[in-house]
Chains A and B, each alone.
Chain A
Amino acid sequence: MKMNKKITQFGLILLTMGLALTACDTTGSSSDNGEWLIPESEIRDGGPGRDGIPSIDDPQFAPVEEIDFIVGDRLVVGVKNGDDVKAYPHQILDWHEIVNDEVGGTPFALTYCPLTGTGIGWHREINGSVTEFGVSGLLFRNNLIPFDRNTDSEWSQMQLRGVSGELSGTNIERVDVIETNWSTWKEMYPDSEVLTTETGFSRNYQGFAYGSSYLNNSTTLFPVNNEDDRLHEKERVHGIIANTPASEDSDVKVYVISRMDQGVEVIEDTFQGIEHVVVGSSSLNFAASFERTINGTLLNFQPVEDALPVVMEDQEGNRWDIFGNAVSGPREGQQLTPTRSYTGYWFAWADFFPDLEIYQQQDS
């Protein structure tokens, strides 16, 4: 009898606790009505939180010859403005994703998303004021969402525009960058400056933020909405976006770097009515693209081998470097107009721009 009473007592306690658990409203954090230009249901909290991945705001550089921590086949992102040439190793970008810097006196941010493999240079002067970018900790379709520290607006890295907040809808002005491996970069720009590990943070700069296998396997950390099996998920492609703003409706064409010649290959192509040239190499591991027309003249390009950073020449005798600068010839000092383009993993391009086109050799 006594035991039955105790069992009943025990059961009642359990039941009361269970009812309490199911009855209580467990909302513990706020929500606001912030509007997004991208589908809110596809934005993910990556886990680190706002500025949990620390951007580098006081970058330190050293000459190429002093850099010993970069492995030869690992990638760097390079930028050039006048005589100011800098490289940013993936080994550091993996852990910081944004470097707020200047190049040739121009304030710019190197934004890099390790999950989509996209390194894109952004002007930091927006509507007349210079800002810094930070890592919001949010992701849209696996891709970095930076925020600017002046207005707290969020931006889509791959869509190149503000997507929430005061600057929502503002298109970002790009700074042209080149992604290639360390060996190629050193050969191209032996006198350049390289971001050092003196970041103010201790991180595993010899390692990979998401593991070395992430670079080649078919895994993504977050769901992919628009899967496209025409290429391997992590195939690196150079994509050109024809329209502004860059959105799911944009016309996009991509060039597969591993399908390019071992030496320097030049592809003259037309996309959405614009004549452009793509120059790249599978073994040297880079791709860049420019409009072919300069000052009303349509140029025809040929590859130049073994003369890095010079990669092509035209019918006028001009020789052009990888950043589209004429380094010799009648147009010396002029610069080709870069396309609206960047390099990244195939799965990300396909997810962002579902109807994108892949360049086939017979296209040109």
Chain B
Amino acid sequence: MIKNTSIATLFLISILVYPAGLIAQTCGCAGAPLLSSQSISSAAQGNLLLGITYEYDNIDDLYQGTNELDNRSVRRSTQSTLFEVHYGITDRLTASGTFTFINKRRETGLQTPSSNVVRTEGFGDGLVMLKYVLHKNTIRSQYQLAVGGGAKIPFGSFDHTNNGLQLNADMQPGTGAWDGVFWSYLSKTFAPHTTLNLFWTNSFRLTGEADRFSNTNDSYRFGNEIVSTLGAGNKLVGNLSYVFQVQYRQVGKNERNGSELPNTGGKWIDLVPALSYQLTDKVSMRVSGQLPVYRDLVGTQSTTTYSLSGSIFYNFDGKTIF
């Protein structure tokens, strides 16, 4: 019984681990928050986990370097729906697939009597990963170390138009590019004294290039991205758990035809609090938010004001991950 409770708590905490923001790829917020969907570090052998996450990113702030500017002209938001599948191939090897549906909204001309709204929606890019547990968490050696790698697949559309004209990359649901994704996860538990779980995740996205326009050689590449997250999670009461994370994110400059673009790239530090509730042995839900506490952007860019997300997970075997 104690063991089952511990497992359930660890499950809750593990799905709260919400590693990489990739909320908005700076102002150029094309694509989905794919890395952030990697909420499962590993699944037990033969276990199948499904998850669906809805995320809302409010992108109202305007920054120049570390200074916030008065932004009266533009309001943006991105809504993402992510479908996750995780399957434990062996005790140590987990396959993960994430697929997305993206809705973007850009309202401009807020300073004028009539603003202009452009919306796009469509399937975004997908992410497939293999994760391998190098060290399993045991009662005698209470830490887990996992690494992973995969590819972001350009399922997403990136040729949406407005009045017949192709929209900028940051309004496209997809990026059109293949990216390489590398991931690591380290956690530490302290059973039986406490159900506290400390963890550290790191992600790196090596971006590829996309030809955005079929009639010209106009290639576009989003900047590489590093995300590092430190977090702590624990049981609150009953089936309710929390996780609190501090996330550092650094994005390189976007490039067009090999030349770096101004007003792209930057560094962010965000706080990411989350709550999770185990509804049944198999079903859990999670809500989380993301609040920026430090931003240092290259040039002048719109950036995320806050993010909110909610998830539901279904664990077919009603047991384990780790």
Residues of A whose CB lies within 8 Å of any CB of B are 2-3, 6-7, 9-10, 13-14, 17-18, 20-22, 24, 26-34, 40-41, 43-54, 134, 137-138, 149, 200-204, 207, 209-211, 214, 219-223
Contacts and interface: CB of A to CB of B under 8 A. Distances in A.
Interface of B: 27-28, 45-48, 50, 64-65, 67, 69-70, 72-74, 83, 85, 87, 89, 95, 97, 99, 103, 106, 108-109, 111-112, 115-116, 118-123, 126, 128, 155-157, 160-171, 173, 213, 215-218, 256-257, 259, 261-263, 299-300
Contact of A202 (B69, B97, B99): B69
B138 to A, nearest CB: 23
Contacts of B47: 6
Contacts of B115: 51
A34 B163 CA distance: 7
A204 B217 CA distance: 33
A229 to B, nearest CB: 17
Contacts of A6: 46-48, 87
B160 A54 contact: no
B46 A51 contact: no
B161 A203 contact: no
A29 B112 CA distance: 23
A135 to B, nearest CB: 9
Contacts of A219: 259
Nearest to A43: B165
Given A203-B300, A221-B256, A49 B165 contact: no
Given A3-B45, A49-B118, A134-B109, A223 B257 contact: yes
A45 B166 CA distance: 7
Contacts of A22: 155
A200 B70 CA distance: 9
Contacts of A10: 48, 85, 87, 95
A41 B155 CA distance: 24
A123 B83 CA distance: 54
A137 B157 CA distance: 22
A219 B74 CA distance: 27
Contacts of B109: 49-52, 54, 134
A41 B161 CA distance: 12
Given A17-B83, A202-B69, A221-B256, A47 B299 contact: no
B73 A54 contact: yes
A30 B300 contact: no
Given A13-B50, A13-B97, A28-B157, 14 more contacts: A9-B48, A10-B85, A20-B99, A21-B155, A26-B123, A29-B160, A31-B163, A32-B163, A46-B168, A48-B108, A50-B108, A51-B73, A202-B69, A223-B218
A40 B118 contact: no
Contact of A30 (B48, B163, B168): B163
A46 B169 CA distance: 9
A29 B99 contact: no
Contact of B112 (A3, A26, A134): A134
16 contacts: A6-B48, A14-B85, A17-B83, A24-B123, A32-B164, A34-B164, A40-B165, A41-B213, A45-B165, A48-B73, A49-B116, A52-B73, A52-B109, A204-B67, A207-B299, A209-B263
A129 to B, nearest CB: 17
A210 B111 CA distance: 23
Nearest to A42: B216
A221 B45 contact: no
A340 B235 CA distance: 75
B85 A13 contact: yes
A20 B123 CA distance: 9
A149 B64 CA distance: 29
B112 A28 contact: no
Given A2-B46, A49-B118, A54-B111, A211 B299 contact: yes
B87 A201 contact: no
B126 A21 contact: yes
Contacts of A220: 259
A124 to B, nearest CB: 16
What are the nearest 8 A-B pairs in CB distance? A51-B109, A26-B122, A49-B108, A52-B108, A26-B157, A28-B121, A10-B87, A202-B70
B104 to A, nearest CB: 8
Nearest to B89: A7
A211 B302 CA distance: 16
B106 A201 contact: no
B263 A210 contact: yes
A335 B43 CA distance: 82
Contacts of B167: 29, 45
A29 B162 contact: yes
Contacts of A33: 164
Given A138-B165, A204-B300, A221-B256, A51 B99 contact: no
A22 B157 CA distance: 10
B53 to A, nearest CB: 14
A81 to B, nearest CB: 27
Given A137-B108, A209-B300, A31 B164 contact: yes
